[in-house]
C-alpha cells in the first residue's frame, strides 16, 4: 500500500504515555482544529494519558480566547460546552485545557478552532441551463461518448486584483452538486465529493478552506468546476433520468474572505461578473462514471492571464441562504493508494487489473505517447465471472465506467474527480500497453481508533475485511454498498454495525452529521425513514429495526462518546408515540411502512410481529433512558411505563412455557434476550433453546440478529459456542467468506444469490467486529457506564492462544493483550486516567483496578 492513511494506526498507539497526567487529542465538536464551526456553544473535549497508576483527574479549567471556566471540580470530565460570550463569526479561537490530578500536579494542552459564516452575501450561480446543449462547439467524436443524458461539467471563474499583501484568506463554499475549487491553479483543500450528501431540500453543508498561501499580488483567480453528484445525477436504484430527486443542474455559492496586512478586508463572492464555460470533463456521475476529453481542456483557465471573453456570463439562480449550514463532519478524502497485484492482457488492447482488495474509490491511469483521440475505457467490478472476466451483473444500472479521450503527447494522467466506484478489478481497454495504474481509496475521514490481532490468521483477515467494508461504505453517509445503483444510507445497516464502527474509528463527527440527515427525514407524524438522506420515491417510513435506528443510534453514540446532545428526546419520543398510536394493543402489527423482517436470514423467518414488537419495546425503553439523561423526568416516567406495558404485551402474546418465543428462531430469541423482554427464568430457557438452534444449524440470522449473536451467547455462558461460530468455515459463516477470497464482508452469508442483490461489500454481517474487541480481546464497558468510565475487561480465549486489542476511547487509550500458553494465562491491561475496571480472569476470579497498566499471571494449575 502506498501512503495508506486509510489503514493507519491510531496516534496514541504510536506514542509513549506522558509521565504525569496530561490531556491530549483535543477536539472541538468532535473534530481536530476545524474550520467553520457553526455551533454557537461548541463542545470542547480531550483525552487523558499518564504513565502512573491511579493518576486520575479531579478538576479542569477551560480557557477560550479571553474567557475562562475557572477551576471546575469534575473527576469524570473529558469535555465541556463553551460558556463564554457569543463567539464572533469567521474568527480563530485558541483554547487551552488544564487538568489537575489528585496530588495537585497539573497538565495542559492547547488547540484552536475557527467559527463559521454568519451572514452570506453571495448568490447562487450556475452555467446557463438554456445553453448547456449548444454553447460549446462540439469536439470531434463527442457523439460517441455516451452521456446517458448527462451534461458537461461547467467551469466557473472570476478574477480580482490584490494591491496589498494578504495575511489571511478563507474560502466559504458549497454547491448543489459537487465542486472542486482552485485559487490561482492551487486546489482549495483536499475534500472529495464535496459538499457531501444531504437532503438538499432541508440542509446544504458548506466547507471552509484556508487558501492564504495561494494568493498573489496583482491578478488572482478563483475557479470552480461543478458536477451533478447526488443533487442532479443518478442516485439510488430508481432508473430515473438525472435530476429526478433534487435538482436539474449544479449550482455554486462561494465567498472568499481576504484579510490584508493593514487589517482591511474584502469579500469576493459568487454573483454577477462570473464567467462560465466547459472543459475536458464531458460528464461526471456517481453511478454512471466520468468522461474526460483531454482535447477539450481549457489550459490555464484557473490561472491569471486567461482570456475568458468567449465564455458566457454565469446565471444568478437565487439568493436563498436559509439552508446553508456549517459542516459537522470531516469530508471524504483520498486516503490511500493500491498498486496492482496482477495485470493480464485478456484481448487486443484489453487489460484486466487486480488490485487485490475490494475498495471504494477510483483509478488513476497514466498513458504515454498516444495519438490524439484514442478512447481509453476503464470498467470496474468487485469479482470475476466463471471465465475470469469482469463481473458487472451485480452493478445493475450503475455503469461504473470511466472514459478518457486522449489529447496526445508524452504523458497524460487520467483521474476522475466526481465519481467513485466499488471495485477490486479494473478492465482497461484501448491501450496496447498499460503504463502506471493504481487505485485511489476514498472514504470519509474517520480517524482510526482501534486495533485487533489474534493467533488465528483467518480471524485477522476477517477483522481486516470488516475494516475495509466500513471504509468503503462510509462515504459522506453510511451506505449499504459502494458498487451498485443503490448506495443508500439504510438505517438498519447503520444501527447494527455502529458498535463495531465505533471500535474501529472515531465516527462521532460522521454520525453527528448523519443523525441530522435522519432527523431531516422524520415525517411530521413522527415516523423515521428507512434511508437517510431521504430520496423521492425511495422506501417509505417506519420499518421495524430500520426506523428504530432513530433511537438506537443516538443512544449508542451517547454511551460511547459521552455527548448527551446526540439525544434528541423530542424526535425519539415522537417515533415511539407514532408506533404506539398505530398499534393501541402495543403489538406492532399495523404496517407504518414496509417490513423488511430479518433481512437476508438464511433460516426460518422470524414472525414479523415478534421482531417489530421487540424493537418497539427497545425504542421505548431507550427513549425513557434518554429523557432521564436530559432531565426530562416526566417524559422518562411516561415512556418507562409504556415500555413496561409493551414488555408485558410481548410476553403475553409471544412467550410460552420455558421461555419459548413464537417462531422458534435464532433472531427471535436474540431480540428477546438482548432487549430484556424475559424474566430470569424465561431467559434461562430461551438461552438454552437459542444454543440448541445454533448448535444444530450454525448462524441463521439476518441483518437484525447477527450483531447480537455472539454477545448474547457469551452473556449467557456460551462463549464456547460463540467461538465455534466465529471459527466455523462451512456456510453460513464468516470464515467461509474468508476462505473463498473475500477482502470485504459480503451482503449474503454464502455470496450466492441473484446478481441483482449480491453485493460483495456490505458491512451488516461484519457487526461481529464488536465481539472481537469486547469478547475475544475483552474490552467492554459496564452497563450504565458512559464514555468507558467503568470498564469490564473479560477476555474469552476459546481455543485461541493469544489476542490483543487497543481502543482510543473518548476518555483515553484502552488496551488489552493476553496469552494462553502451556505455562498459564498472561494478561496485560491499560486503563485510561479517570476510569476504573473490573477484570475477569479465567476460572472466575475478578479484580477491581484503577487507571494505569496492570498485569496478571495465572500459572497453570494454580489460582490467581
Calpha distance 194→189 (Å, rounded): 10
Q: At what angle do helices 608-629 and 569-582 cross, to 10 degrees?
A: 150
853 a catalytic residue: no
What SS3 state is found at 378?
Answer: strand
Contacts of 312 (CB under 8 A, 6+ apart): 127, 128, 131, 135, 275, 276, 277
Annotation says 747 is catalytic: yes
Burial of 861 by CB count in 10 Å (0-12 exposed, 13-18 middle, 19+ buried)? exposed
User: What is each CA distance from 815 to 13, 144, 284, 449, 832, in whole angstroms?
Assistant: 9, 57, 45, 11, 9
8 Å CB contact between 703 and 602: no
d(CA 545, CA 619): 10
Count other Cβ atoms within 10 Å, centred on residue 443.
Answer: 27
Q: Is the peptide bond before 389 cis (omega within 30 degrees of 0)?
A: no
Grid coordinates given for 694? 445454533
- What element of type H or E holds 681? helix 680-697
Q: How far, in Å, are 688, 710, 797, 848 from residue 691 at the CA level? A: 5, 11, 19, 31
546 torsion bin: left (phi>0), alpha (psi -120 to 50), beta (else): alpha
CA–CA separation, 849 vs 835, rounded Å? 9
Out of 114, 255, 486, 635, the active site residue is 486
Distance CA 283, CA 419 (A): 10
For 711, phi then psi, to 5°, come to: -60, -40
Decide if 541 contacts 534 (C-beta within 8 A). Answer: no
Of residues 741, 795, 802, the one with CA closest to residue 773: 795
What is residue 774's DSSP assignment?
I
Compute the distance between CA of residue 675 and CA of residue 696 in angstroms, rounded to an integer: 24
Which residues have a Cβ under 8 Å from the Cβ of 527 and sit 6 or more positions away? 541, 542, 547, 575, 578, 592, 593
C-alpha cell at 699: 448462524
Q: What distance in Å separates the CA atoms of residue 193 and residue 336, rounded to the nearest whole number?
A: 16
SS3 789: coil
- Taking the CA atoms of residue 773, residue 779, residue 785 and residue 786 in that order, the dihedral angle to the nearest 10 degrees is -60
From the candidates 192, 747, 789, 808, which is the catalytic residue? 747
CA distances 471 to 237, 442, 467, 827, Å, are 22, 8, 6, 31
Helix (H) / strand (E) containing 423: strand 421-429
**Separation of alpha carbons 649 and 446, rounded Å:** 42
- What is the C-alpha separation between 503 and 452, in angstroms, rounded? 10
Known catalytic residues are: 486, 747
Amino acid at each position: 500500500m502506498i501512503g495508506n492513511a486509510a489503514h493507519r494506526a491510531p496516534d496514541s498507539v504510536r506514542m509513549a504515555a506522558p509521565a504525569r497526567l496530561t490531556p491530549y487529542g483535543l477536539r472541538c465538536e468532535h473534530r481536530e482544529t476545524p474550520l467553520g464551526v457553526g455551533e454557537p456553544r461548541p463542545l470542547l473535549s480531550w483525552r487523558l494519558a499518564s504513565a502512573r497508576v491511579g493518576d486520575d483527574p479531579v478538576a479542569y479549567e477551560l480557557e477560550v480566547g479571553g474567557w475562562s471556566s475557572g477551576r471546575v471540580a469534575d473527576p469524570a470530565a473529558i469535555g465541556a460546552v463553551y460558556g463564554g460570550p457569543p463567539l464572533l463569526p469567521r474568527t480563530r479561537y485558541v483554547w487551552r485545557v488544564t487538568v489537575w490530578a489528585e496530588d495537585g500536579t497539573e497538565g495542559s494542552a492547547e488547540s484552536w478552532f475557527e467559527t463559521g459564516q454568519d451572514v452570506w452575501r453571495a448568490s447562487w450561480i450556475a452555467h446557463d441551463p438554456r445553453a448547456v446543449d449548444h454553447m460549446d462547439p462540439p469536439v470531434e467524436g463527442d457523439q460517441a461518448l455516451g452521456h446517458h443524458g448527462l451534461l458537461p461539467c461547467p467551469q466557473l471563474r472570476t478574477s480580482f486584483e490584490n494591491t496589498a499583501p494578504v495575511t489571511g484568506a478563507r474560502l466559504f463554499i458549497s454547491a448543489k452538486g459537487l465542486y472542486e475549487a482552485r485559487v490561482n491553479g492551487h486546489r482549495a483543500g483536499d475534500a472529495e465529493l464535496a459538499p457531501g450528501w444531504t437532503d438538499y431540500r432541508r440542509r446544504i453543508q458548506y466547507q471552509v478552506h484556508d487558501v492564504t498561501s495561494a494568493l498573489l499580488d496583482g491578478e488572482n483567480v478563483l475557479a470552480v468546476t461543478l458536477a451533478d453528484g447526488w443533487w442532479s445525477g443518478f442516485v439510488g436504484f430508481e432508473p430515473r433520468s438525472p435530476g429526478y430527486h433534487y435538482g436539474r443542474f449544479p449550482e455554486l455559492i462561494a465567498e472568499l474572505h481576504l484579510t490584508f496586512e493593514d487589517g482591511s478586508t474584502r469579500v469576493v463572492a459568487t454573483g454577477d461578473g462570473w464567467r462560465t464555460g466547459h472543459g475536458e470533463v464531458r460528464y461526471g456521475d456517481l453511478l454512471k462514471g466520468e468522461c474526460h476529453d483531454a482535447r477539450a481542456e481549457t489550459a490555464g483557465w484557473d490561472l491569471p492571464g486567461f482570456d475568458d471573453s468567449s465564455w458566457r456570463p454565469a446565471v444568478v439562480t437565487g439568493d436563498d441562504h436559509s439552508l446553508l449550514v456549517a459542516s459537522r463532519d470531516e469530508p471524504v478524502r483520498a486516503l490511500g493508494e493500491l498498486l496492482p497485484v496482477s495485470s493480464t492482457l485478456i484481448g487486443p488492447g484489453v487489460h484486466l487489473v487486480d488490485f487485490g482488495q475490494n475498495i471504494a474509490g477510483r483509478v488513476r491511469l497514466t498513458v504515454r505517447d498516444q495519438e490524439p483521440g484514442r478512447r481509453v475505457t476503464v470498467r470496474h467490478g468487485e469479482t470475476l465471472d466463471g471465465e475470469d472476466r469482469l463481473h458487472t451483473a451485480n452493478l445493475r444500472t450503475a455503469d461504473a465506467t470511466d472514459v478518457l479521450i486522449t489529447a496526445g503527447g508524452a504523458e497524460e494522467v487520467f483521474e476522475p474527480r466526481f465519481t467513485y466506484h466499488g471495485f477490486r478489478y479494473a478492465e482497461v481497454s484501448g491501450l496496447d500497453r498499460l503504463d502506471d495504474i493504481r487505485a485511489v481509496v476514498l472514504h470519509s475521514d474517520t480517524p482510526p481508533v482501534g486495533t485487533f490481532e489474534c493467533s488465528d490468521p483467518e480471524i485477522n483477515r476477517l477483522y481486516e475485511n470488516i475494516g475495509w467494508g466500513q471504509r468503503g461504505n462510509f462515504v459522506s453517509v453510511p451506505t449499504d454498498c459502494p458498487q451498485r445503483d443503490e448506495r443508500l444510507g439504510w438505517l438498519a445497516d447503520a444501527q447494527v454495525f455502529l458498535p463495531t464502527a465505533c471500535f474501529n474509528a472515531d465516527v462521532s463527527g460522521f454520525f453527528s452529521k448523519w443523525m441530522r440527515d435522519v432527523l431531516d427525514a422524520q415525517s411530521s407524524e413522527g415516523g423515521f425513514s428507512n434511508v437517510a438522506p431521504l430520496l423521492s420515491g425511495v422506501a417509505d417510513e417506519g420499518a421495524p429495526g430500520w426506523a428504530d435506528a432513530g433511537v438506537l443510534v443516538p443512544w449508542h453514540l451517547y454511551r460511547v462518546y459521552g455527548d448527551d446532545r446526540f439525544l434528541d428526546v423530542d424526535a425519539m419520543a415522537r417515533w415511539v408515540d407514532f408506533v404506539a398510536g398505530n398499534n393501541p394493543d402495543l403489538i406492532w402489527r399495523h404496517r407504518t411502512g414496509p417490513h423488511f423482517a430479518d433481512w437476508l436470514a438464511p433460516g426460518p423467518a422470524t414472525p414479523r410481529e415478534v421482531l417489530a414488537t421487540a424493537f418497539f419495546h427497545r425504542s421505548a425503553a431507550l427513549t425513557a433512558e434518554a429523557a432521564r439523561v436530559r432531565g426530562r423526568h416526566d417524559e422518562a416516567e411516561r415512556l418507562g411505563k409504556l415500555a413496561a406495558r409493551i414488555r408485558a404485551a410481548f410476553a403475553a402474546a409471544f412467550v410460552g412455557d420455558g421461555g419459548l418465543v413464537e417462531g422458534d428462531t435464532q433472531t427471535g430469541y436474540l431480540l428477546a434476550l438482548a432487549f430484556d423482554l424475559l424474566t430470569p427464568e424465561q431467559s434461562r430457557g430461551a438461552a438454552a433453546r437459542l444454543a440448541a438452534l445454533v448448535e444444530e444449524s450454525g448462524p441463521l440470522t439476518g441483518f437484525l440478529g447477527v450483531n447480537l449473536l455472539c454477545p448474547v451467547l457469551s452473556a449467557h455462558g456460551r462463549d464456547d459456542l460463540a467461538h465455534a461460530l466465529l471459527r466455523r468455515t462451512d456456510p453460513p459463516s464468516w470464515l467461509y467468506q474468508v476462505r473463498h477470497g473475500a477482502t470485504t464482508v459480503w451482503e449474503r452469508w454464502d455470496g450466492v444469490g441473484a446478481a441483482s442483490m449480491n453485493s460483495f461489500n456490505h458491512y451488516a454481517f461484519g457487526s461481529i467486529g464488536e465481539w472481537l474487541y469486547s469478547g475475544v480481546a475483552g474490552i467492554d464497558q459496564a452497563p450504565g457506564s458512559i464514555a468507558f468510565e467503568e470498564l469490564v475487561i473479560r477476555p474469552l480465549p476459546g481455543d485461541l492462544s493469544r489476542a490483543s486489542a487497543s481502543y482510543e476511547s473518548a476518555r483515553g487509550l484502552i488496551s488489552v493483550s493476553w496469552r494462553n500458553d502451556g505455562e498459564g494465562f498472561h494478561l496485560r491491561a491499560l486503563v485510561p486516567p479517570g476510569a476504573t475496571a473490573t477484570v475477569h480472569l479465567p476460572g472466575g476470579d475478578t479484580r477491581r483496578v484503577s487507571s494505569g497498566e496492570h498485569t496478571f499471571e495465572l500459572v497453570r494449575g494454580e489460582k490467581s
